């Protein structure tokens, strides 16, 4: 875990627009490792670590997840012929640890939305 002073030094380097790119870069790195058995575990670990350290936002994780779901839908409906990388990306996305992580992020997002709605009703 990063010390608070390290987070302060890193945070200015990571603007909101680049947080999705960080996830994609980690995904690409894992894909290039050629160790197919560790893809899902590695990606889930790396993205969770970035998320836990507030280096990638909830919105970035959910956007990345949405993009992979769109890729899966395009392959499923035949509008896209998947490359080997696309196939591996979907394998990583479907990994149990990744699914568990994404579910927890979605739950956190829903809870925050409910809290925001309650706050608006109080005003």
Which of 55, 53, 40, 54 is closest to 101 using CA atoms?
40
- 3 lies in some domain: no
Residue 6 lies in a domain: no
Domain contains 4: no
Contact 62, 105 (CB under 8 A): yes
Q: What is the pLDDT of residue 123?
A: 61
Query: What is the reported pLDDT for 85?
Result: 86
Q: What per-residue confidence (pLDDT) applies to 105? A: 94
Query: What's the domain range around 103?
Result: 11-122
Q: What is residue 80's DSSP assignment?
A: S
pLDDT at 110: 87
Torsion, Cα of 43, 48, 53, 56 (10° steps) = 70
Instruction: Provide the residue-wise pLDDT of the chain in tens; the chain has 123 residues.
Output: 445 544 444 444 455 556 788 888 888 888 887 665 567 788 888 899 999 998 888 999 999 999 999 999 999 999 999 998 898 889 888 889 999 999 999 998 888 877 766 666 666
Task: Please report whether residue 2 resides in a domain.
Answer: no
- For helices 19-32 and 84-93, angle between their N-to-C axes, nearest 10 degrees: 110
Domains: count for the chain: 1
Among all chains, which residue has been given the structure tokens 């990583």?
92
User: What is the pLDDT at residue 102?
Assistant: 95
Indicate whether 54 belongs to any domain: yes
């Amino acid at each position: 875990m990063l010390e608070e002073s390290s987070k302060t030094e890193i945070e200015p380097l990571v603007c909101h627009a680049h947080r999705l790119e960080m996830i994609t870069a980690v995904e690409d790195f894992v894909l290039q490792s050629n160790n197919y058995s560790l893809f899902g575990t590695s990606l889930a670990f790396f993205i969770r670590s970035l998320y836990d350290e507030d280096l990638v936002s909830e919105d970035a994780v959910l956007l990345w997840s949405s993009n992979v779901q769109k890729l899966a839908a395009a392959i499923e409906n035949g509008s896209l012929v998947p490359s080997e990388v696309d196939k591996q990306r979907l394998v990583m996305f479907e990994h149990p640890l990744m699914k568990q992580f994404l579910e927890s992020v979605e739950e956190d997002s829903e809870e925050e939305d409910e809290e925001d709605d309650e706050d608006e009703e109080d005003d």
